Amino acid sequence: MSSKSRIVGWSHLPFGKREEPDTEAMIAQVTSGALKHAEVPAGDVDGIYLGVMNNGFSKQDFQAGLVALNEPALAYTPATRLENACATGSAALHAAMDFIESGRGRIALVVGVEKMTSTPTHEVGDLLLGASYRKEEITEGGFPGVFGRIAEEYFKRYGDRREELALIAAKNHKNGVSNPYAHVRKDLGIEFCNTISDKNPLIADPLRRTDCSMISDGAAALVLADEATADAMERSISFRARTHANDIMPLSHRDPLAFAGARHAWDSALKSAGVRLNDLDLVETHDCFTIAELIEYEAMGLVPPGEGHRAIREGWTYKDGRLPINPSGGLKAKGHPVGATGVSMHVMACLQLMGEAGDMQIPGARLAGVFNMGGAAVANYVSIMERSK
């Protein structure tokens, strides 16, 4: 008999340049932390789902096999590794939810992890290009170059929006000051984000360093349970809707500014949840680059195409605005350890819904949206979440 799955516990390491030598050490910390938070013995876990992109960041692969090393009671628990570019964490979460909702298990552990800072920066750019269509999208700027081209095309079509991108960066960095898990906890200010300088150089014209998310290490974990099990636990976060929509990978085969897969995922999620975008109290969205957040305003239906600048200019997406976007600081301030990002975004939403987000808290948050994407809006995941206990 199928049952809806709920989040009943979580753990999150601060993102940044971490001292742990490898993903194994970070996996151990968040696994034990999440199980402790959920008050679930390791032996009660029926399935493990680990998200890591890797693609060369670590010579150690087959990393789902690492989860049981620090928890001997997990030795015989089925463990599966998921990869879906920058949406790897959400892919792992969805697989775990499918596992529970198919009736195959009561409790699942989801872990997202990546160790990136040990890799030279120029190599990171090339490894991340694995999330693009290499036959056509190889750029000197690596993956930032892909979004630099998107920004350039956006400016040609809708007008130069460098200043609005700086506003988004400044907003997210200011929000990140309140996030104890963020890679950068510094309010950089609009002037710094909008000025090319030695400390804020062009990375992939027209994108500056402050327009690009951080290369980070980190891990996060979630414990999921079926409804009957969750009802007996201390906390429970449920999903009003969850959707996954893909788009064609090559940008040459579609309008690169439409983010049509993202729009489809949002439309489907809102319809399934029976709510409107305005009913949400906050959204954690995938700001791998500031131009992505700008276009995502349009894809989620906050503004029409070409008018993303209005949402930030008119203050709608600030913490005190009509729809706070990335009160955690987003990928821009929190960092983007690729495999961990989707799991992290869901942890941030859980904290808000439980009223445990500290200085990040959006007062009275009841409904939260999460948008996590892989590549340039190729794999698109939307969650609409609420507190059920």
Q: Catalytic residue positions?
A: 86, 336
* Tokens, residue 248: 């064609």
Asked if 372 and 87 touch (Cβ cutoff 8 Å), the reply is yes
CA distance 84 to 159: 33
DSSP 308-335: HHHHHHTTTTSTTSSS-B-TT-HHHHH-
Helix spans in 159-200 (H): 162-176, 190-193
The answer to whether the beta carbons of residues 362 and 325 sit under 8 Å apart is no
H helix and E strand count, the chain: 13, 11
Task: Return left, alpha or beta for 377; rule: phi > 0 is left, psi -120 to 50 is alpha, else beta.
Answer: left
List CB contacts of 221: < 8 A, sequence separation 6 or more: 10, 11, 12, 30, 31, 33, 34, 109, 110, 111, 112, 343
Q: Token pair for residue 191? A: 């002037």
Rounded distance, CA 121 to CA 140, Å? 13
Type of residue found at 116: M
Cross-strand bridge partners of residue 221: 11, 111
Distance CA 91, CA 67 (A): 17
CB–CB of 20/243 below 8 Å? no
User: Do the beta carbons of residue 141 and residue 204 sit within 8 Å?
Assistant: yes
